Chains A and B, each alone.
Chain A
Amino acid sequence: MKRYIITTGSVTYAIKGRDLLRRKGYRARVEKVTATAQNSGCGYSIILEDDDIITAEKILRNAGIKIQSISDY
């Protein structure tokens, strides 16, 4: 099973997105993003444990969750 980091920025969006994915049966949790030169600094992300990132992303975007980036965990 693959794992993805879906960066939402705010903890509010991260928790909202996580809860939404969990209600749809996905395994998801919230983690603080490590600030690096590659991102815009601190923030929060959803860690998704599922192969179907495309559907998960669609669910989040349809619910108005602002996604900053998606990458492999």
Chain B
Amino acid sequence: MINLIRSLGRWGLGTFERLGRGHLFLLHILAGVPGLFLRFSLVIQQVYSVGVLSLLIILVSGLFVGMVLGLQGYNTLVDFGAEESLGVLVSLSLVRELGPVVSALLFAGRAGSALTAEIGLMKSTEQLSGMEMMAVDPIRRVIAPRFLAGLLSMPLLAAVFSAVGIIGAFLVGHGLLGVDDGAFWSQMQAKTDFYDDILNGVIKSVVFGFVVTWIALFEGHDATPTSEGVGRATTRTVVHSAFAILGLDFVLTALMFGDE
């Protein structure tokens, strides 16, 4: 019993200590962000590896998610003779919910894990220590540009995901199931609000981008500098990011749409 309490205490202390380190790490990153506007090329490079290289998985997944939504939505709506509302159903589902959430989960798997592995390996091969000894702060030079790149890329990726998803749903709805294209687009335009739907979706994806990139970079920076340690850190990035995305999605949805 005493051992159980002791190990519980140790676990608690360890968790809070890591949480504290994670927040200090974030403060350090944020302090480095303003300086990046003077060297924006560093951020652009990272937008390429974090964002552009994630495009393929986002495009393909978005298309299929949209197509499935089209099929499933049509089958439900047709029972009520409301199949022409397919455009609204698809756009609201994607813009409010699936776009930000699924693209953030994919982003965590594709870009988050890559960031953790990259930073973890840089640590284990002493590249970060080497920079410190060259009087270059690795958090400002290496971590902060990646953080800003993640923050900028995530909403763009979510927007691409939603757009491609809507196209996928249109292809299935209009091309395969015969929904009237005029009704599909006009109802979507009429019922999708810029502030309530699109902007809230963008806010969600910015929050997810912030959290996923923070987790990925912290796990990499905090990884035990061995191959096993980097492997574990990469796994933790994906798992913790998924929890964070889904948990935060509930909180944000409750705040944004809870009183409707």
Q: Are these two chains actual partners, yes or no?
A: no
Give the interface of B toward A (CB within 8 A).
none
